[in-house]
Amino acid sequence: MNISQIESDAEKLKAEYEKKGFKCEISTSEPGEDWDSEEEGHEADEVYILLEGELEFYLQGKTYRPAIGEVFVVPAGEPHNFKSNKFSRYYWIYGYQWQDDITGSRKK
């Protein structure tokens, strides 16, 4: 899939989830990049959708390798980690249920 098609699909999915009350962002991670919520997780449930590439996702002591288009949910307060394949970047959308007092940031 080319970049313009990924971006088009991402915008459609983002709009779909925003209609459901989610605050969403589209993100790209470089080869070998990882991300860690540290020990506390976030203050709201989060939804992630892999758009392109390969991703390892660590949650509750298990490793997941989601398929492109698969939706996965991280419960509020649950520590989690992502790591991309060392040879390819990945594109993904993440979102959290929007509330005035919830920012989607790490728990305080």
DSSP state of 106: B
* 3-97 maps to CATH 2.60.120.10: yes
Position 2 scores a pLDDT of: 66
Residue ranges of domains in the chain: 3-97
Listed residue (59, 42, 50) closest to 99, CA to CA: 42
Tokens coding 96:
């959290």
Binned at pLDDT 50, 70 and 90, residue 38 comes out as low
Give the whole-angstrom CA distance, residue 90 versus residue 86: 10
H helix intervals, the chain: 3-19
DSSP state of 89: -
pLDDT digits (tens, 9 = 90+) for 52-108: 888 888 888 899 998 988 888 888 888 888 888 776 677 777 777 666 665 555 444
Position 108 scores a pLDDT of: 47
Q: Is the pTM of this model over 0.95?
A: no
Give the whole-angstrom CA distance, residue 27 versus residue 94: 8
